[in-house]
Amino acid sequence: MTYFSPDFAQFFKDLAANNNKEWFDENRKRYEKEVKDAFKKLVEDLIITMRKEEPELLVEAKDCIFRINRDIRFSKDKTPYKTQVSAVISPGGRKDMTTPGMYIELGPEKMAIYGGLYMPDAKLLKEVRWYVMENADAFKKAYTNITFVKHYECIRGEQNKRLDKDFIAAAEKEPLLFNKQFYYYEHIPASIYTSDKLEETILESYHAAAPVKEFFRKAVA
């Protein structure tokens, strides 16, 4: 199935050059048809397919999709609209920042697919480090899986310069224990948007991340 017309990417290019309420209001119908409704349909179909493997995925598209309006209250950048659409597909949807799922973002130049743990708080981070330390072999097996590496290369994140003494010895064998974040991502050219292989491509990335995603779900359970 083809979800987007060529005007999907063009809309965001035009928005980038005219990021103001007046232009957006003039192009609202175009946005709703070419962007909002089409993206909602894609997310709906992804949820239906993913639910076959994750019965707990009971969210709807509206629970997953982020608003296009930017929160400018504390930002120096006062442009009112995002120049991409995005959604978190996980059991808790966009409001759940702890349960690992799949984050997708479609902008004018590329599609990005993310997963993992991006900003765990101090308590959760310590719990995850304990789980990684106690299951180091399973962790390494997950992130060195050939399909995961093909799509995502590695697990990324900022690192602490120091660790609690409990983790120091284990970190010599597993340096990722220094991480404050554990995330991975893949970028795919925007040319995929008008292909009838778009959903299939996203699901391929979704399945590639499964070993790491499931490891982290157990870590935060």
Contacts of 13 (CB under 8 A, 6+ apart): 108
Q: What pairs with residue 114 in β-bridges?
A: 103, 185
Alpha-carbon distance of 43 to 48, in angstroms, equals 9
Residue 191 falls within a domain, yes or no?
A: yes
Q: Across residues 145-161, what is the average pLDDT?
A: 98
- Which pLDDT does position 102 carry in this prediction? 98
Contact between residue 140 and residue 205 where contact means Cβ atoms under 8 Å apart: no
Q: Could you give phi then psi for residue 102, rounded to 5 degrees?
A: -125, 125
CATH code for the domain in which residue 111 is found: 3.30.930
- Which pLDDT does position 97 carry in this prediction? 83
- Which pLDDT does position 204 carry in this prediction? 98
Residue 141 falls within a domain, yes or no?
A: yes
Residue 170 falls within a domain, yes or no?
A: yes
- Which pLDDT does position 73 carry in this prediction? 84
- Which pLDDT does position 193 carry in this prediction? 98
Residue 74 falls within a domain, yes or no?
A: yes
Residue 1 falls within a domain, yes or no?
A: no
Domain extent at residue 17 = 7-220
Q: Is the dihedral of CA 7, 28, 83, 210 positive or negative?
A: negative
Please give the model's pTM, rounded to 2 decimal places.
0.95
How many domains does the chain fold into?
1
- Which pLDDT does position 136 carry in this prediction? 97
Give 56's pLDDT tier (boundaries 50, 70, 90). very high
- Which pLDDT does position 74 carry in this prediction? 82
What mean pLDDT is reported for the chain? Answer: 96
Question: Does residue 151 carry a pLDDT above 90?
Answer: yes
Give 77's pLDDT tier (boundaries 50, 70, 90). confident
pLDDT tens string 173-209: 999 999 999 999 999 999 999 999 999 999 999 999 9
- Which pLDDT does position 140 carry in this prediction? 98
